[in-house]
């Protein structure tokens, strides 16, 4: 007889929680603490739930490859532009040299930069898809990321295929200076050329989408959708509040606030993203 089936795990306070760093992960990553409801969860069960908290529906951050796995048909994704590498044109150094930061991020993510792109299928429909990897220097957009985004739109233009971008970025990459800011214009130019083919561009906003990414191609979609409670905007709410010296509205710059004010077309739970995307593409393409 099973006595303890599906019992909740008792709350556990560890050093990371005391320091205010979430989530708390206990031995070998078996436990994870939800930063929203503070529930201590079994990592395998969270994974089975598409990395969404089963208690409060908080959406944990997931990797770019995991995103592709959840959105594309099994085995249908073919990655492109894997050999592109950025350069340290400014010889930038703060507390760490830029090449050292790149090396650490590449080792951590096993990616060359903060964006994975290629051709895939959603319910049998071919799409050009690109996904930001936030774990690579905060998903920042430098020369390589901008080039890869432009190439996604270029392939969509050439093949007359819809473009889907999953966004998660802190903005332009400061280590590349003005060259990173130029990617804002470059990506929008590629998008404008893509629009001539009259096929849809669908951005999916995830937490967080900010800075130069939010201020360029991100909000120019035909249908703008987001995951719940994602932070979306140019400057962060703390910066805005300090600049204006005014108290901001509740949930300011969160998905729900943007939907209410007409900047999003829908908020979609991670479980529903793939079928929702299929319906939107069918409506716009068929």
Is there a cis peptide before residue 23, judged by omega within 30 degrees of 0?
yes
Total-model pTM: 0.87
Q: What is the pLDDT of residue 239?
A: 86
What is the Cα–Cα distance from 61 to 3, expressed in whole angstroms? 33
Average per-residue pLDDT for the chain: 90
* Mean pLDDT of all residues in 193-218: 97
210, pLDDT greater than 80? yes
Tell me the three state secondary structure of residue 204: strand
The pLDDT-based confidence of 236 (bands split at 50, 70, 90) is: confident
Domains in the chain (CATH in brackets) are: 1-60 (no CATH), 61-285 (3.90.226.10)
Alpha-carbon gap, residue 166 to 232, rounded angstroms: 13
- The per-residue pLDDT for range 32-75, each reduced to its tens digit, is 999 999 999 999 999 999 999 999 999 999 999 999 999 999 99
The model's pLDDT over 77-113, given as tens digits with 9 standing for 90+, comes to: 999 999 999 999 999 988 899 999 999 999 999 999 9
Q: What are the pLDDT digits (tens) for 4-34?
A: 455 555 554 444 443 444 544 344 568 999 9
Rounding to the nearest 10 degrees, give the CA dihedral for residues 271, 272, 277, 279: 150
Better pLDDT: 250 or 213: 213
What are the pLDDT digits (tens) for 102-160? 999 999 999 999 999 999 999 999 999 999 999 999 999 999 999 999 999 999 999 99
Summarised one tens digit per residue, pLDDT across range 252-269 is 999 999 999 999 999 999
């Amino acid at each position: 007889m099973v006595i303890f089936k599906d019992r909740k795990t008792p709350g556990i306070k560890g050093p990371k929680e005391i320091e205010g760093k979430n989530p708390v992960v206990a031995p070998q990553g078996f436990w994870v603490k939800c930063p929203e409801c503070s529930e201590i969860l079994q990592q395998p069960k969270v994974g089975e739930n598409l990395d969404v908290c089963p208690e409060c529906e908080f959406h944990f951050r997931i990797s770019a490859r995991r995103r592709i796995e959840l959105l594309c048909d099994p085995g249908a994704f073919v990655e492109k532009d894997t050999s592109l590498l950025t350069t340290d044109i400014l010889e930038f150094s703060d507390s760490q040299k830029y090449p050292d930061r790149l090396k650490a991020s590449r080792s951590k993510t096993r990616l060359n930069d903060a964006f994975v792109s290629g051709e895939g299928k959603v319910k049998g429909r071919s799409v050009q898809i690109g996904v930001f990897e936030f774990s690579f220097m905060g998903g920042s957009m430098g020369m390589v990321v901008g080039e890869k985004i432009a190439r996604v739109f270029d392939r969509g233009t050439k093949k007359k295929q819809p473009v889907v971008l999953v966004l998660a970025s802190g903005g332009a990459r400061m280590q590349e200076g003005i060259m990173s800011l130029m990617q804002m214009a470059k990506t929008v130019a590629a998008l404008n050329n893509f629009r001539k083919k009259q096929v849809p561009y669908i951005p999916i906003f995830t937490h967080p989408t900010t800075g130069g990414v939010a201020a360029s191609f991100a909000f120019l979609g035909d249908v703008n959708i987001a995951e719940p409670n994602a932070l979306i905007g140019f400057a962060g709410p703390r910066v805005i509040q300090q600049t204006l010296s005014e108290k901001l509205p509740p949930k300011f710059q969160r998905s729900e606030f943007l939907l209410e004010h007409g900047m999003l077309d829908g908020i979609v739970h991670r479980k529903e993203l793939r079928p929702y995307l299929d319906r939107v593409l069918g409506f716009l393409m068929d």
